[in-house]
Amino acid sequence: EQGCSVGALALREMIDPNGDYHGVDFLYHVLQAKELSLRLEREQGHWHGGITRKITHDMIAAELWMRNLEAKATNGKYEYAILSYWRSRSIIGRVLAVVPDIHEICGWVGPCESPTGLETYRTPAALVQVHTRAPAFKLQDSAGEQQPFVPSDGRLTWEEPILPPVSEEVCVLRKLRVLSVPADVNSADPGGVVTAYRAKLDFYLLRANKVITLTLYSNSIFVAAPPCKGTHKIDPKSTSIYTRTIYEVSRLDKAELKTEGVTVINATGHGGQALARAWCAEKGTNAVVWKRDRECCFKCGLMVAGKEGLDVDVLILC
């Protein structure tokens, strides 16, 4: 542990099962050592100092570990025998990044379970593509068009939006599936050289005792609500643009996007944010993510998600 070597991390769980080092630390160390090896190989003929014996041992261990690794390299994913790692900018990475016990390292999200539905390849590596579409932002350039804000008289009549109670629902990712997309549908590769897949996620809700299956059609974008100062209220003149519909995650299998107002998803329970993000990807919408401990009041979260802000009309509470 004190030497911070690959070997110490690999055997750490055997030495101290209750320690703070886990498999993700081992993977991070291996990636760092492999990255150094690739840079040294690329810059042959140059002198490099500061490479100690421990660093050399790490580079050798990383090379041997990756040499004996059976991996499927994909466009957006590395899949191992029982695990997979996804690019953080892909929709699967954006959804799974908030699943408990999953981490992001060097732009990759994992370790995640290996998906079902991939074709069988004759070689250990094969290139595939995750098929999604990009939902468009509805931002409009309103520079110079806004009138000076004049608040209504009588601040006592202003509304303070009420937060829904913290959800007790527990959401567990049960299965990750991929379905091949026909070549004529895959506009990114019309020649059909690369096999395209569309992802499906199965979530099990413990309290509701049901499974919700969502298909990730779009590569949705999730924006964190910025902090504000204090707690703000809604001016009665602006009540119409703060109209909101609140859904519990257990109702998302029946929920539809509202054409008017903000759709608020109460994903404050364990694992609920991943389910909410997957729902956004299925409905083809972006969303603002509001966290209770990030110093942003509920009113400002609604403002950022609504017509006065990004106009995505979806706010995820977590």
Give 10-residue mean pLDDT values along the chain (318 residues). 53 62 70 81 74 79 67 52 76 89 81 76 53 72 52 65 89 89 60 73 93 93 90 81 88 87 92 94 93 85 88 91
CA distances from 172 to 176, 201, 246 (A): 12, 10, 21
Residue 125 has what pLDDT? Answer: 42
CB distance 117 to 179 below 8 Å: yes
Specify if 304 maps to a domain.
yes
Among 221, 219, 247, 228, which Cα is nearest to 303's?
A: 228
Domain hosting residue 302, numbered range: 171-317
Domain boundary among 76, 94, 113: 113
Specify if 120 maps to a domain.
no
Q: Which pTM was predicted?
A: 0.69
For residues 66 and 56, give the distance between their C-alpha atoms in angstroms, rounded to a whole number: 16
Quick one: 175 and 309 in the same domain? yes
Quick one: 179 and 313 in the same domain? yes
Quick one: 175 and 311 in the same domain? yes
Quick one: 105 and 182 in the same domain? no
For residues 114 and 199, give the distance between their C-alpha atoms in angstroms, rounded to a whole number: 12
Specify if 133 maps to a domain.
no
Quick one: 20 and 108 in the same domain? yes
Residue 68 has what pLDDT? Answer: 55
Three-point CA angle 108, 109, 114, nearest 5°: 115
Quick one: 303 and 177 in the same domain? yes
**Domain count across the chain:** 2
Residue 238 has what pLDDT? Answer: 77
Quick one: 103 and 214 in the same domain? no
Specify if 109 maps to a domain.
yes
Domain boundary among 113, 129, 153: 113
User: DSSP characters for the chain?
Assistant: -TT--HHHHHTHHHH-TTSS--HHHHHHHHHHHHHHHHHHHHTTT-------HHHHHHHHHHHHHHHT---EEEBTEEE-SSEEEEETTSHHHHHHTTSTT-EEETTEEEEEEPPB-PPP-SSS---EEE--BPPPP-----TTTPPPP-PPS-GGG-B-PPPPPPP--BEEEEEEEEEEE-TTT-TTSTT--SEEEEEEEEEEETTTTEEEEEE--B---EEEPPP-SS---B-GGGGGGG-EEEEEGGGTTT----SSSEEEEE--SBTHHHHHHHHHHHHT--EEEE-TTSS--HHHHHHHHSTTTT---EEEE-
Quick one: 177 and 302 in the same domain? yes
Quick one: 311 and 177 in the same domain? yes
